[in-house]
């Protein structure tokens, strides 16, 4: 995406789409390649892990993507973070589409009728087509957690759950040592069992 400040020469930056974000975010090092004018910001950014981050300021940049041109506000932060585009920006730039069910269409329908009419929404594991590339920070030291104890009454059900996930190819069996080992936490709710990865 091409970005510029005022009459400055535009720069092309690769951005990450974050449909969970409510604002656009850019590192100060990336911003310095594009503009100079940073205004004070009163925002507090809440990160995925629950912590908060205070931006060093905010800036307005002109963004061009294909035939679209928008003025976007970015929160400027310390660090080496790839620029993030919020859900609203992604929608306005037509990078994503938001599909909703019209409430008038489902008014008066039973749960069974809704599930039958929109069966494609309730089937499968929510997998996306294609492959996803994950960038790994090689400077981060691998963590190897010790196994957590599983209550004896849950062991048989846990084994069945793991075998089910393996058959569905959600997880894969590992038979040799790995650099990273995360703790597994078993949560039993009513008739369902959930397996969580504990960082």
Is residue 126 situated within a structural domain? no
The pLDDT of residue 60 is above 80: yes
* Range(s) of the domain holding residue 167: 152-198
Q: Do 88 and 156 belong together in one domain?
A: no
Is residue 82 situated within a structural domain? yes
Is residue 19 situated within a structural domain? yes
Is residue 32 situated within a structural domain? yes
**Single residue among 92, 111, 138 that ends a domain in this structure:** 92
Is residue 28 situated within a structural domain? yes
**Is the CB of residue 122 less than 8 Å from the CB of residue 115?**
yes
Is residue 173 situated within a structural domain? yes
Q: Do 6 and 87 belong together in one domain?
A: yes
pLDDT at 77: 92
CATH number at residue 61: 2.40.70.10
* Residue 15 buriedness (CB in 10 A; 0-12 / 13-18 / 19+): buried
Is residue 132 situated within a structural domain? no
DSSP letter at 149?
P
Is residue 68 situated within a structural domain? yes
Look over the chain and give the mean of its residue pLDDT values, rounded to a whole number: 84
The answer to whether the Cα torsion of 12, 18, 22, 27 is positive or negative is negative
The whole-number average pLDDT for the span 150-168 is: 89
Q: Do 87 and 9 belong together in one domain?
A: yes
Best CA proximity match to 8, nearest among 24, 29, 32: 32
Kindly report the pTM of this predicted structure.
0.51
pLDDT at 159: 92
pLDDT band at 104 (very low <50, low <70, confident <90, very high): low
Angstrom distances, CA of residue 117 to CA of 100, 105, 114, 121: 14, 10, 5, 9
Number of domains in the chain: 2
CA distance 85 to 7: 22
The pLDDT of residue 199 is above 70: no
């Amino acid at each position: 995406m091409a970005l510029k400040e005022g009459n400055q020469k535009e720069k092309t930056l690769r951005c990450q789409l974050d449909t969970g974000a409510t604002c656009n975010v850019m590192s100060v090092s990336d911003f310095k390649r594009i503009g100079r004018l940073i205004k004070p910001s009163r925002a507090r950014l809440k990160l995925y892990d629950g912590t908060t981050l205070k931006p060093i300021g905010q800036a307005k940049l002109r963004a061009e993507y294909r035939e679209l041109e928008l003025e976007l506000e970015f929160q400027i932060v310390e660090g080496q973070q790839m620029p993030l585009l919020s859900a609203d920006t992604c929608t306005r730039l037509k990078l994503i589409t938001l599909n909703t069910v019209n409430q008038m269409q489902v008014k008066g329908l039973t749960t069974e009728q809704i599930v039958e009419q929109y069966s494609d929404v309730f089937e499968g594991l929510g997998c996306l087509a294609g492959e996803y590339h994950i960038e790994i920070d090689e400077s981060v030291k691998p963590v190897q957690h010790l196994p957590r104890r599983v209550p004896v009454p849950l062991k048989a059900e846990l084994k069945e759950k793991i075998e089910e996930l393996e058959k569905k190819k959600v997880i894969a069996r590992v038979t040799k040592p790995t650099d990273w080992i995360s703790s597994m936490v078993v949560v039993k709710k009513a008739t369902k069992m959930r397996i969580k990865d504990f960082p």
